[in-house]
Amino acid sequence: MPTYRMRRPLIFLLLALALGAVATLVHEHPAHERLAEAAATMQAHVDKAAHELAGHATAALREDTLPMDVAHAAGEGGMRLYHGPTVVAWTDHAPVADADLDTARSAHLDLPDGIYLHAVATDKNRTVHAVQRVWFQPPFENAYLNRHFDPEFTVEQGIQAEPGPGLGPVVRDADGAVMFRLRWADDMPLSGTRSLVALVLAIAAMVWGVASLWLFSMHIQPAWLAQLLFPVVVLGARLALLAHGSIPALSGFPLFDPSLFASSFFMPSLGDLLINALVLLLVVIHFRQSLRPLRPGGPPWFLAAVAVILLLASAAGLGGVMAALVHDSSVSLDLFRVEGLNAYSVAALLAIGLLLFT
């Protein structure tokens, strides 16, 4: 039985090492290569959409009518049928005057709300103009209105279109003219799929490593060594991660954005605060489990004094955390205005709840 009990921690440790080794072998492509791949994908989507748009314009001109059975005035595209200079039918809401669109012949249009593909078909005095929005850029932005590619032209998160000259791979229209170039929002590449895979593997490795350490410490004698080993290793690993700085795979998540919350070396973000709370909870649970089989020794007043000191220290630390969440964050914690709470408010309250439970 003892051999079996010691075998399980070893198996868990080997599994953790294997997952950690695999995680180190998974590398993200360089940011410029990811942009180039996104541009190639976007170019294929644009070429296909431009071909279909020209076909729709030709078909509408041939029928001398516009298909009203499709989504009318969807906002991102449609057609206008001209008889001479007069519009007789339309299915679009593109922000361009009829007279200006009637004279347009380029394969894309830069309009006030973004960049559109454009196709035109003409026969004598009849003309059909077809437009389809690729990039939406509103005149102002807020929590509900922001720049983005339209659904048919989605790319990797964090990539934006930038009209005009500059650095970055370009996307061209059907005539070969540059529509826009691609760049990373705020020039900060977000974590890609490979980084997320490596992160999941690393988290799995840490979970199995902690499980191995937990089981191993339960069989160490004397008991005080077990009580010391687990928190020292776990808290030491956490301090090492904090000293390492931000992890690229996590920095792309708003939960780990310092602009949302940052207070000190130990609490550089709201996500780190949650991790700290979970680590402390894990250490306390292990401490309780390791003490359960032991009989209390020493004077009761001594144990009571130690408990009171720990309780006061915990209360002071928790008070500091709550004050930091109020003064050093943009998280809404006004419980009298529940409608203003969001997911980050829930995360902050969860962190406080975990610390209180600990």
- The pTM score is 0.68
Contact call for residues 280 and 358 (beta carbons, < 8 A): yes
Measured CA to CA, the distance from residue 220 to residue 217 in angstroms comes to 5
| CA angle centred on 190, ends 184 and 192, rounded to 5° | 120
- Give 183's strand partners: 160
- Give 80's strand partners: 90, 129
Contact call for residues 96 and 84 (beta carbons, < 8 A): no
Considering all CA atoms of the chain, what is the largest pairwise distance in Å, rounded to the nearest integer?
A: 105
- Tens digits of pLDDT across the chain (358 residues): 455 566 888 889 899 999 989 988 888 888 888 999 999 999 999 999 999 999 999 999 999 998 876 544 445 889 999 999 999 999 998 999 999 999 999 999 999 999 999 999 999 899 999 999 999 998 887 767 888 999 889 888 889 999 988 888 999 999 999 999 999 987 777 777 888 888 899 999 999 999 999 888 877 777 667 778 888 899 888 988 888 877 777 877 778 888 888 888 888 888 888 898 898 888 888 877 776 665 555 556 665 676 667 677 777 777 777 777 777 777 777 666 766 677 878 888 788 878 777 6
DSSP 284-353: HHHHHHHHTTSPP-S-HHHHHHHHHHHHHHHHHHHHHHHHHHHHSB-----TT-GGG--HHHHHHHHHHH
Residues in the chain: 358
184: part of which helix (H) or strand (E)? Answer: strand 178-184
Is the peptide bond prior to 299 cis by the omega test (within 30 degrees of 0)?
no
Dihedral-angle region of residue 109 (phi above 0 means left; psi in -120 to 50 means alpha; beta otherwise): beta
Domain ranges of the chain: 31-187, 220-357
